[in-house]
Chain A
Amino acid sequence: MPLVKFISHDGSEHEVHVASGTTLMHAATDNGVPGILADCGGACSCATCHCYVDEDWLAKTGAAGEVEAQMLEFVLDPQPTSRLSCQIIVGDELDGLLVRLPKNQV
């Protein structure tokens, strides 16, 4: 069960254990982590599950796909570390993953 740590924009921290193979989005919504809305439920259609992957983890999460990258250009406050959490699958290699959440999704 990989551990994921979310740090909200206000600095509050949420550590959750998730079954390997869960999306990062579900890791947040299933555990009530505020700041991830995930309106479309993981269809990569709404860009309301935006997060920033900690730089030390970027190599392991990989880069955004084509559709995701185009959507990320228009989220609030995009950064080079921006990802849509519905597109990241938390496997054992991401045990300890650290992500930060934006102030607002839309």
Chain B
Amino acid sequence: MGSAHAVIVGASHAAAQLATSLRQGGWDGHISIVGAEAIPPYHRPPLSKAYLAGEKHSDELLIRPATFYEKSGIDLVLGTRVNALDRANKVIKLHDGGSIPYTKLALTTGACVRKLELPGHHLDGVFYLRDLNDVNRIRGFIGAGKSAVIIGGGYIGLETAASMRKLGMKVTVLEALPRVLERVTAPEVSAFYSRVHGEEGVDIITEAAVDSLQGNGVVQAVNLADGTSIRADLVVIGVGVLPATELAESAGLNVDNGIVVDEFARTSDPDIVAAGDCTNHYNPIYDRRLRLESVQNATDQAKTAANTLCGKLECYHALPWFWSDQYELKLQIAGLSQGFERVVLRGSTDSGRSFAAFYFRGDRLLAVDAVNRPKEFMAVRRALTVGQSADPAKLADDTIDIQLAFI
């Protein structure tokens, strides 16, 4: 083994991929993954779904078993926080006073939850949902017949609501904006999700202004500005995430809504790459800089970063895609809909539980939200990857094979 040392900070999706790709790409030096949590990198998406619902054990969440890292010569340095990055001496400083020197460094620090400093936010039974530990604590408060209030009608909030309804809980979702998923989907798709959650027994309150959380040691109610008080045995706050850039910022790296990286995942320091939720990067398909919160971006950008560290420069040009499972709804999203001017529907959002919403700007197909329509998702993902657009009239006609719609 060579004496070079690649150190990966943040035991995330991106870290698991980066370490694996480094080995596959021929990096023959040491590799270490340093992570604050005590568990090897794990799949986060099931946290708000199967894991919350008790259908999965934490071992089943691991991206790779611990033995894989051992066999691959990848050191896991877990339960360890990185306090500082000393670029001049190429060393990271750990919370326990230790330090690790690096030849190359990769920052895969992910994102942290946006906090709401509401009166009463310190009460027991008030949670955020990001880490395994968060969900382990939430699981101590759930149970049939109990009341949950979810603050935030984004994907995390709605997935959590669905999982808790499955468990027989009374669930209320509070959304500050006029509709759920407002930041990420068209009004038709928001209306669909509101309808289905209503049918499943979730109470959604939009334009809700939360005034305070009330309780006596443990949360008991959520008070709204209009005087409404909603009973709560637990509260889950899901109001978005912020890129975890503290370490990069204090080390003087270029940070602007994420760690700024180039098309090869390089930061402003040539010996440091970054990948995943923490980065601000250029996407050539949409011709703009992005900060994405997704598994796809974490794994694909990690491969680019690993290639760069192995001396193989390949531009990052992946198509973003996402998924969200709620009840029996399988939502798959290909592309980015932001900036759309027109939505074309295939199937109906007003009834039933299967449709695809295609987003256009001018003649250009930007993205699809496909609910229980895996074929439409796959077809659009492929079309957007190769730069095709589509005929809106054909997309809207459910009797025409989707394959014939692309141009």
B321 → chain A, closest Cβ, in Å? Answer: 7
Are B378 and A74 in touch, CB under 8 angstroms?
Answer: yes
Tell me which of A29, A45, A73 contacts B332 (CB under 8 A): A45
Question: Which residues of A are found within 8 Å of B332, using beta-carbon distances?
Answer: 45
A34 → chain B, closest Cβ, in Å? Answer: 6
Are A41 and B46 in touch, CB under 8 angstroms?
Answer: yes
Tell me which of A30, A34, A43, A74 contacts B45 (CB under 8 A): A43
Complex-state Cα separation, A77 to B374, whole angstroms: 17
Are B374 and A70 in touch, CB under 8 angstroms?
Answer: yes
Complex-state Cα separation, A44 to B24, whole angstroms: 25
- Confirm or deny: A96 has a beta carbon within 8 angstroms of a beta carbon on chain B: no
Complex-state Cα separation, A47 to B382, whole angstroms: 12
A102 → chain B, closest Cβ, in Å? Answer: 14
Complex-state Cα separation, A31 to B385, whole angstroms: 30
- Confirm or deny: A37 has a beta carbon within 8 angstroms of a beta carbon on chain B: yes
Are B378 and A43 in touch, CB under 8 angstroms?
Answer: no
Tell me which of A31, A34, A47 contacts B378 (CB under 8 A): A47
- Confirm or deny: B296 has a beta carbon within 8 angstroms of a beta carbon on chain A: yes
Within 353-388 of B, Cβ neighbours of A (below 8 Å) are at: 372, 374-375, 377-379, 381-382, 385
- Confirm or deny: B299 has a beta carbon within 8 angstroms of a beta carbon on chain A: yes
Are B375 and A70 in touch, CB under 8 angstroms?
Answer: yes
Question: Which residues of B are found within 8 Å of A29, using beta-carbon distances?
Answer: 63-64
Complex-state Cα separation, A47 to B375, whole angstroms: 11
Tell me which of B299, B374, B379 contacts A37 (CB under 8 A): B299
Complex-state Cα separation, A74 to B382, whole angstroms: 8
Complex-state Cα separation, A71 to B379, whole angstroms: 9
Are A30 and B325 in touch, CB under 8 angstroms?
Answer: no
- Confirm or deny: B323 has a beta carbon within 8 angstroms of a beta carbon on chain A: yes
B112 → chain A, closest Cβ, in Å? Answer: 22
- Confirm or deny: B288 has a beta carbon within 8 angstroms of a beta carbon on chain A: no
A28 → chain B, closest Cβ, in Å? Answer: 11
Within 98-156 of B, Cβ neighbours of A (below 8 Å) are at: none
- Confirm or deny: B68 has a beta carbon within 8 angstroms of a beta carbon on chain A: yes
Are A30 and B68 in touch, CB under 8 angstroms?
Answer: yes
Complex-state Cα separation, A46 to B385, whole angstroms: 14
Contacts A45-B332, A71-B378; is A39 near B64 (CB within 8 Å)? no
- Confirm or deny: A32 has a beta carbon within 8 angstroms of a beta carbon on chain B: yes
- Confirm or deny: B30 has a beta carbon within 8 angstroms of a beta carbon on chain A: no
A103 → chain B, closest Cβ, in Å? Answer: 15
Chain B residue nearest in CB terms to A30: B65
Are A32 and B385 in touch, CB under 8 angstroms?
Answer: no
Are A41 and B299 in touch, CB under 8 angstroms?
Answer: no
Are A45 and B323 in touch, CB under 8 angstroms?
Answer: yes
Complex-state Cα separation, A67 to B43, whole angstroms: 22
Within 16-58 of A, Cβ neighbours of B (below 8 Å) are at: 29-32, 34, 37, 39-41, 43-47
Are A39 and B295 in touch, CB under 8 angstroms?
Answer: yes
B401 → chain A, closest Cβ, in Å? Answer: 10
- Confirm or deny: B330 has a beta carbon within 8 angstroms of a beta carbon on chain A: yes
- Confirm or deny: B57 has a beta carbon within 8 angstroms of a beta carbon on chain A: no
B277 → chain A, closest Cβ, in Å? Answer: 15
Most buried by A among B20, B61, B374: B374
Q: Mark B58-72, 1 if CB is under 8 A from A, else 0.
A: 000101110110011
Tell me which of A31, A39, A71, A75 contacts B299 (CB under 8 A): A39
Question: Which residues of A are found within 8 Å of B382, using beta-carbon distances?
Answer: 74
- Confirm or deny: A63 has a beta carbon within 8 angstroms of a beta carbon on chain B: no
Are B374 and A71 in touch, CB under 8 angstroms?
Answer: yes
Question: Which residues of A are found within 8 Å of B378, using beta-carbon distances?
Answer: 47, 70-71, 73-75
Are A32 and B374 in touch, CB under 8 angstroms?
Answer: no
Chain A residue nearest in CB terms to B23: A32
Question: Which residues of A are found within 8 Å of B43, using beta-carbon distances?
Answer: 41
Are A74 and B375 in touch, CB under 8 angstroms?
Answer: yes
Chain A residue nearest in CB terms to B321: A46
Complex-state Cα separation, A67 to B332, whole angstroms: 12
Q: Which 5 A-B pairs have the closest CB atoms?
A: A74-B378, A41-B43, A45-B323, A70-B375, A70-B374
**Which B residues are closer than 8 A to A by beta carbons?**
20, 24, 43, 45-46, 61, 63-65, 67-68, 71-72, 295-296, 299, 321, 323, 325, 330, 332, 372, 374-375, 377-379, 381-382, 385
A to B CB contacts below 8 Å, 13 in the list: A29-B64, A30-B67, A31-B68, A40-B295, A41-B61, A41-B63, A43-B46, A46-B321, A46-B323, A47-B378, A67-B372, A71-B374, A74-B381
